[in-house]
Chains A and B, each alone.
Chain A
Amino acid sequence: MTRGPAVYAAVVNDDAPRSGSPVTDWSTDFDHTTEGWAAAAPAIWDELRVTCPVAHSERFGGTWLPTRHADVAAIAHDTEHYTSNSVIVADFRPDVPAPMGFAPPITSDPPFHEFARRLLLPAFSPKAIAVLEKPAREFCGQLIDELLATGPVVDAATGYAQHIPVRVIAHLLGVPAEDGDRFRTFIHRIVERPGQAGPVAEEDLLTTYLFRVVEEHRQSPRDDLVSYLIGLEVDGHPLSDEHVIGTIALLLIAGIDTTWSAIGASLWHLARHPEDRARLVADPEVMTFAVEEFLRFYAPVTMARIVAEDTEIGDCPVAAGDWVLLPFPAANRDPAAFEEAGRFIVDRQRNRHAAFGLGIHRCLGSNLARLELRIALEEWLKRVPDFELSDPDGVRWSTGQVRGPRTLPVRVLGREARDVTREG
């Protein structure tokens, strides 16, 4: 069953506050692209879950925000009443090419979704991903050594966390890691400020960049994911250019900000919790559980759906064409689903967190993300067992659907650093 794009008329209400403008009432006018949200999202979710568990905002032409685990899980599993064809909330309803969407499989609905996803699954299975452990470890170590050489106060977000997923994804896809800054510009435009960036020159578009990448790979195929996608044949036909480009764009976008955010948020936590640092240094086995607790407590990714057919969230009626934010991070803090949900427990034994989503769109890169997060933290703690925030007020969290610290100034303690900086 394929759904045409024409069903979703643009319904932006001119009287509603402009998206991005400051919010005063989160239960009737929430906006995830504001600095207010960035600064306090977990508190907003906890409050709404009690006072208004399916909140509504007129912004973006009408958007819902469920915060209970049960509601988020039900929507993620319901591909009949909700479509994934647009997963980033914006002021307009994009005119989407059904059934594939712009970035298969994340923007595809059944049955096309399964086709697009299965092409990729083998490349991201835990056994396929395991070979990246060694190069990732070396790269993390090298990055930290270079960073520490610059002095005892460093930005762990822009100096460390940010570079890890760029490097890993560039390696997998077969694009130059030096293009990292360009990837981040694309991502910022698409994820952090959707629709608010103004016009972009053709030359600076992600698709223009990717067409060039595909062309280069066509001329000289190599052993990487881009060449694999170009070489695929289904019933004797190669995939369409739109499919190949959309999927590469997805892998770039989905793998970078998300993982960067998870690593950064975990380091933010460790900078403020010496007891958890000490536990992980003394007992490295705890890391298996810690990684999942970081992912639960600091889950970076909120997805979105568009209501495809009128339905209800809990008892709350929602209409075709409405946006629904799918805040997996809020679900992860629901006391109905987790014991002591509001507490970070470094070795939590029961942890069915939904950081990688639920249902058929379960994060394709979850094994890769988990590997990057674990290695990034292990290599950091090996070299920097002791550190603190050097400027707590200087930490800035991102706006939009991917949440993580975008600046994270920390002071490295121990070593000679302590003597130099603590007195000054």
Chain B
Amino acid sequence: MRIEFDRDACVGHNRCYLLAPALFDVDDEGYAVPLVGGELPVELEAAARLAADNCPEFAITIEGGDA
């Protein structure tokens, strides 16, 4: 599974940081900071899906993995 983050779409809802702290940190202004890029280890796939499924701005997308 791959994860992509679109900084231009992020407005700092912080849903990702709350749900997937292993994948996203947050900067001083509240914008997401991806901690892991590209191909994900299997154990982070569920967290990645959760982050993507809850970002109101569709700033996080995942590809591949078990659908």
A interface residues (Cβ-Cβ under 8 A, vs B): 118, 121-122, 124-127, 288, 292, 349-354, 356, 358-360, 362, 366-367, 370
Task: Tell me which of B13, B57, B58 has the highest count of chain A C-beta atoms within 10 A of its own C-beta.
Answer: B13
Specify which chain B residues have a CB less than 8 angstroms from the CB of A370 in the assembled complex: 18
Q: How far is the CB of A297 from chain B (nearest CB, A)?
A: 15
Specify which chain A residues have a CB less than 8 angstroms from the CB of B18 in the assembled complex: 126, 288, 370
Specify which chain A residues have a CB less than 8 angstroms from the CB of B57 in the assembled complex: 358-359
- Knowing A126-B17, A352-B53, A353-B56, say if A367 contacts B30 (CB, 8 Å): yes
- Knowing A288-B18, A362-B13, say if A124 contacts B53 (CB, 8 Å): no
Interface size on B, residues (CB 8 A): 20
Specify the main secondary structure of chain A where it touches its partner.
helix
Q: Which residue of B lies closest to A125 (CB)?
A: B30
Specify which chain A residues have a CB less than 8 angstroms from the CB of B26 in the assembled complex: 125-127
Task: Tell me which of A121, A288, A352, A358 has the highest count of chain B C-beta atoms within 10 A of its own C-beta.
Answer: A352
Q: Which residue of A lies closest to B11 (CB)?
A: A362
Asked if A292 and B13 sit within 8 Å, CB to CB, the answer is: no
- Knowing A351-B53, A352-B55, say if A121 contacts B29 (CB, 8 Å): yes
Asked if B58 and A124 sit within 8 Å, CB to CB, the answer is: no
Q: State A359–B56 Cα separation when bound (angstroms).
A: 9
Specify which chain A residues have a CB less than 8 angstroms from the CB of B58 in the assembled complex: 352
- Knowing A351-B53, A352-B54, A358-B56, say if A288 contacts B19 (CB, 8 Å): yes
Specify which chain B residues have a CB less than 8 angstroms from the CB of A360 in the assembled complex: 11
Q: State A362–B54 Cα separation when bound (angstroms).
A: 15
- Knowing A360-B11, A366-B13, say if A292 contacts B29 (CB, 8 Å): no
Specify which chain A residues have a CB less than 8 angstroms from the CB of B14 in the assembled complex: 126, 366-367
Asked if B56 and A354 sit within 8 Å, CB to CB, the answer is: yes
Chain B residues 29 to 67 lying within 8 A of chain A, measured CB to CB, are 29-30, 50, 53-58
Q: State A225–B13 Cα separation when bound (angstroms).
A: 22
- Knowing A288-B19, A349-B53, A350-B53, say if A356 contacts B13 (CB, 8 Å): yes
Query: Which 3 A/B pairs are nearest by Cβ-Cβ distance?
Result: A121-B29, A350-B53, A125-B30
Specify which chain B residues have a CB less than 8 angstroms from the CB of A122 in the assembled complex: 28-29
Specify which chain A residues have a CB less than 8 angstroms from the CB of B13 in the assembled complex: 356, 362, 366
Asked if B30 and A349 sit within 8 Å, CB to CB, the answer is: no
Specify which chain A residues have a CB less than 8 angstroms from the CB of B17 in the assembled complex: 126
Q: How far is the CB of B39 from chain A (nearest CB, A)?
A: 23
A-B contact pairs, 14 of them (CB 8 A): A121-B12, A121-B28, A121-B30, A125-B27, A292-B15, A350-B53, A351-B53, A352-B54, A353-B56, A358-B56, A358-B57, A359-B11, A362-B11, A362-B13
Q: State A125–B17 Cα separation when bound (angstroms).
A: 11
Q: State A118–B27 Cα separation when bound (angstroms).
A: 13
Specify which chain B residues have a CB less than 8 angstroms from the CB of A367 in the assembled complex: 14, 30
